Amino acid sequence: MAGALRRDRAGVTVAAMKSRAALLASMLLLIVSGGAMAQTYEGRTLVEPRLIADTTAIVPGQPFRVGLVLKMAPKWHTYWEYAGDAGIPTQIKWQLPPGFAVGPIEWPLPEAILEPGDIQVYAYGGEVMLVQTIRPPASLAVGESVELKADASWLVCAELCIPGKAALSLSLPVASSAEPANADAFARTVRSVPSMDAPPFAISWKRAGDTLTGSFPAPEGTTAVDFFPLPAQDQEVGHPKIQKADGGYLIRISAKGDLRGVLAIRDAAGERGWYVVAAPSSAGAMPASTGLPTLWAALLSGLLGGLILNLMPCVLPVISLKIFGFVRQAGQSRRSIALHGLAFAAGIFAWFLGLGVVIVAIKASGAQATWAFQFQNPWFNLAIATLVFVFALNLFGVFELTLPGRATTALSEAGGREGYGGSFFQGVFATLLATPCTGPFLGSSLGFAFSQPAPVTLLLFGSIATGMALPYLALSAQPGWVRFLPKPGAWMERLKQFMGFPLLAALLWLLYIIGAQRGPRAIIWAAAFLLTLGVALWLYGLVAAPHVKMRSRLAGIVIALALALGGGWLFLGQLFAQERIALPTATSGDAADGIPWQPFSKAAVDKLLAEGKPVFIDFTADWCLTCKFNERTSINVPAVRKKMAELGIVPVRADWTNANPEITAALQRFDRVGVPFYVLYPAGKPDAPIPLPELLTESLVLETLSKAR
């Protein structure tokens, strides 16, 4: 391959040998540069290092960022995390106080420099800041001062390479609150750090021998493209070659096996980058995007995605109950609060890991495994709706579950007022409702998880559970924070009743899903069953009061049970079960002036693409709240409808509300296992689809649609 590295018989790059010789010749300069704050050579300052923070003070338990700033003399440079044919990346070794933790270096996009002798390096000139996130312990005492120490070492090169190092420190006070600091510097650096998400355009990779070739459509306004390889240890790579082709770009690089790297584009807004994996994509009319993260990136995405799940509207009703539980526990012991939090977190882990085991079993059987598959079953949704309804009635005080006196006393002493079993069930329930909410970061992480062996799949599900459980584990680890919540009192009974209304809102959402799956009459039969169940529970609440005699209590319980079972037999077994599954229509869910959606089928899409028409596909489901939010705010809006009509874009809706193997297969071609997912096929380019992220904005959709022709 042109540009491949020249090697001697020992397999060492000739250029690298010359560079190492120059490096060894300059090692004595370390004695001179030693621990000096600025690196000097022959009276000239080559590198000025310093530490800065993005905060004026350290808040206990609250992460903050620290940056190592290296200011180089003109024409001198230091190196990126992969230096290239020669060079050494900058290293930072921290000496932090006990309890502090530091994250990895966030490397900004480098510059590709081709030096004499065909030596390709990836470096920084001028000034660069390497950012790391530091997490302080929550036990820090406000008022003290903390000194952060770091030993930084680097190699700075021009015609000569000179190693340098510095012992740096940064002192910050500990306070209960802090103001941002150095905001502009950190914002510039963070914008230049490559994203872990997939690029907003599809990349198609092919292999011929040891050469990988990637092609992708050029985003509008692109002025330059770079590819920075990140080879594995002992993996040999050549020099990337980039050229324009057919309105897009081609990347060619020599590498054995799949290759990680960073794809960067430059336009009027600056330079942006994404971590990608160069690997051949699957064949077919809808090739897969290759923006799969590595394992560590997938774990981080899963962690962040799980954390964001706590903010999803389908989870908020149960989360509000947990917050209410922390309020009720404010007067209890630290041990009781901690155990309740751990029980809640255990429920989260139990559901996610249990779901992971089910998915592994489904994959082992040869069937298709997807995310939130259980919500495609109307009977499952009906069961969850029943649980939500019963939970709401309990909060309203319609009935209370009571046990005989001795059992109640024993359970109270063993598990606190609410019982650890109740906290565990709340964790399971919250996670169950979170399943259809595929928010930011989860799409690529889940796509990676479903394609991996069983241990990796379970590990990734564990990372999602960890992210969702983090807030409750933090509050459990620091139960002293509960003292900032209002003290328990009579007002709590009213608050408890109010908490039932968010659950009723969740019930309406579940009934809407059932109607989309079984038709509008199915909602009537489900609601009729819930009505009879509500009456039965109200009757149970009446007869379960302590003053009611045992004979009357037993009679009331029998009548309540008969009413519930009779309602279930009539409204569910006879009427609900006979409703036929509702099929999506071309304009499903839209008003008369909405988008004229065509129902999805692979044959129909292939036909449209063969005719050279631009196609926009919306993979959605009625149980996906993120999908509905995107549709209402970013897709079915006047500007987008106008743009689609102007460009002749054919809108196709892949409705995944009910199980559909064809839609599942189409999602899997893009390494997706759930919705929402959106993709645009430009006119005449069936092999160059442009995927969109999970969360949309109107401007992003319009920008993507503008590439249709």
> Which CATH number goes with the domain that contains 140?
2.60.40.1250
Per-residue pLDDT at 475 exceeds 50: yes
Query: Can you say whether residue 66 is alpha, beta or left, with left for phi > 0 and alpha for psi between -120 and 50 degrees?
Result: beta
143 and 108 in a single domain? The answer is: yes
- Examine residue 142 and state whether it is found in any structural domain, yes or no: yes
258 and 374 in a single domain? The answer is: no
Q: For residues 431 and 309, give the distance between their C-alpha atoms in angstroms, rounded to a whole number.
A: 9
Q: Give the dihedral sign, CA 452/456/458/459.
A: negative
- pLDDT band at residue 559 under the 50/70/90 scheme: confident
315 and 257 in a single domain? The answer is: no
Instruction: Kindly report the pTM of this predicted structure.
Output: 0.41
CA separation (Å) from 160 to 20, 110, 248, 325, 562? 11, 20, 38, 65, 90
- Examine residue 534 and state whether it is found in any structural domain, yes or no: no
Residues 6+ apart with CB under 8 A from 644: 595, 616, 651, 705
Tokens 């963070």 map to which residue?
190
pLDDT number for residue 290: 34
Task: Give per-residue burial for 24-55: e unless 16+ CB within 10 Å, then b.
Answer: eebeebeeebeeeeebbbeeeebbbbbbbbbb
- Examine residue 689 and state whether it is found in any structural domain, yes or no: yes
- Examine residue 560 and state whether it is found in any structural domain, yes or no: no
Residue 633 is classified by DSSP as I
pLDDT number for residue 433: 65
Q: For residues 618 and 590, give the distance between their C-alpha atoms in angstroms, rounded to a whole number.
A: 13
Q: Are 437 and 309 in contact (CB under 8 A)?
A: yes
Per-residue pLDDT at 186 exceeds 50: yes
- Examine residue 118 and state whether it is found in any structural domain, yes or no: yes
327 and 239 in a single domain? The answer is: no
- pLDDT band at residue 159 under the 50/70/90 scheme: confident
Distance of CA 586 to the CA centre of its chain: 31
When pLDDT is averaged across residues 219-234 and rounded to a whole number, the result is 86
Tokens 């692109």 map to which residue?
222
When pLDDT is averaged across residues 582-591 and rounded to a whole number, the result is 42
pLDDT number for residue 488: 55
pLDDT number for residue 459: 84
pLDDT number for residue 34: 34
Per-residue pLDDT at 413 exceeds 50: no
Summary mean pLDDT of the chain: 77
Per-residue pLDDT at 504 exceeds 50: yes
Q: Give the dihedral sign, CA 461/467/472/474.
A: positive
Tokens at 219, concatenated: 């985003």
| β-pairing verdict for 64-72 and 161-173 | unpaired
> Which of 450, 484, 519 is the C-terminal boundary of a domain?
519
pLDDT number for residue 445: 59
Q: Give the dihedral sign, CA 305/307/311/314.
A: positive
- pLDDT band at residue 55 under the 50/70/90 scheme: very high
Residue 19: its H or E element? helix 14-25
pLDDT number for residue 192: 92
Q: 451 or 513: which carries more pLDDT confidence? A: 513
Tally of structural domains, the chain: 4
> Which of 519, 551, 580 is the C-terminal boundary of a domain?
519
- pLDDT band at residue 487 under the 50/70/90 scheme: low
- pLDDT band at residue 451 under the 50/70/90 scheme: low
Closest CA to 108 of 308, 264, 283: 264
Q: For residues 237 and 243, give the distance between their C-alpha atoms in angstroms, rounded to a whole number.
A: 18
- pLDDT band at residue 83 under the 50/70/90 scheme: very high
Give pLDDT tens digits for 298-312.
777 778 877 777 766
When pLDDT is averaged across residues 686-696 and rounded to a whole number, the result is 84
- Examine residue 573 and state whether it is found in any structural domain, yes or no: no
CATH number, domain with residue 228: 2.60.40
- pLDDT band at residue 662 under the 50/70/90 scheme: confident
Q: For residues 624 and 696, give the distance between their C-alpha atoms in angstroms, rounded to a whole number.
A: 14
Up-side HSE of residue 555: CA atoms within 13 Å toward CB? 5
Residues 6+ apart with CB under 8 A from 106: 130, 131, 132, 133, 189, 190, 193
pLDDT number for residue 292: 39
Which strands sit side by side in the sheet containing 64-72, from one edge to the other? 39-41, 44-53, 64-72, 127-135, 101-102
C-alpha dihedral (637, 643, 647, 652), degrees to nearest 10 = -20
211 and 164 in a single domain? The answer is: no
> Which of 229, 254, 280 is the C-terminal boundary of a domain?
280
Residue 653: its H or E element? strand 650-655
Per-residue pLDDT at 674 exceeds 50: yes
Per-residue pLDDT at 128 exceeds 90: yes
109 and 139 in a single domain? The answer is: yes
When pLDDT is averaged across residues 1-22 and rounded to a whole number, the result is 35
Per-residue pLDDT at 422 exceeds 60: yes
pLDDT number for residue 61: 85
- Examine residue 526 and state whether it is found in any structural domain, yes or no: no
pLDDT number for residue 3: 31
Q: 195 or 474: which carries more pLDDT confidence? A: 195
Lowest mean pLDDT segment, chosen from 13-27, 440-454, 462-476, 545-559: 13-27
Up-side HSE of residue 367: CA atoms within 13 Å toward CB? 11
Tokens at 232, concatenated: 């594995």
Up-side HSE of residue 176: CA atoms within 13 Å toward CB? 1
252 and 339 in a single domain? The answer is: no
pLDDT number for residue 167: 94
301 and 246 in a single domain? The answer is: no
pLDDT number for residue 481: 61
314 and 243 in a single domain? The answer is: no
When pLDDT is averaged across residues 14-36 and rounded to a whole number, the result is 38
Per-residue pLDDT at 482 exceeds 60: no
pLDDT number for residue 357: 84
- pLDDT band at residue 13 under the 50/70/90 scheme: very low
When pLDDT is averaged across residues 531-543 and rounded to a whole number, the result is 87
Per-residue pLDDT at 648 exceeds 70: yes
| β-pairing verdict for 44-53 and 64-72 | antiparallel
Tokens 């328990």 map to which residue?
488
- Examine residue 83 and state whether it is found in any structural domain, yes or no: yes
Residue 3: its H or E element? none
When pLDDT is averaged across residues 265-290 and rounded to a whole number, the result is 65
371 and 474 in a single domain? The answer is: yes
488 and 512 in a single domain? The answer is: yes
pLDDT number for residue 461: 82
Domain ranges, residue 19: 14-191
Which value, in Å, is the radius of gyration of the alpha carbons in the chain?
Answer: 30
When pLDDT is averaged across residues 378-384 and rounded to a whole number, the result is 80
Q: 601 or 55: which carries more pLDDT confidence? A: 55
245 and 363 in a single domain? The answer is: no
CATH number, domain with residue 638: 3.40.30.10
Q: Are 478 and 319 in contact (CB under 8 A)?
A: no
Residue 42: its H or E element? none
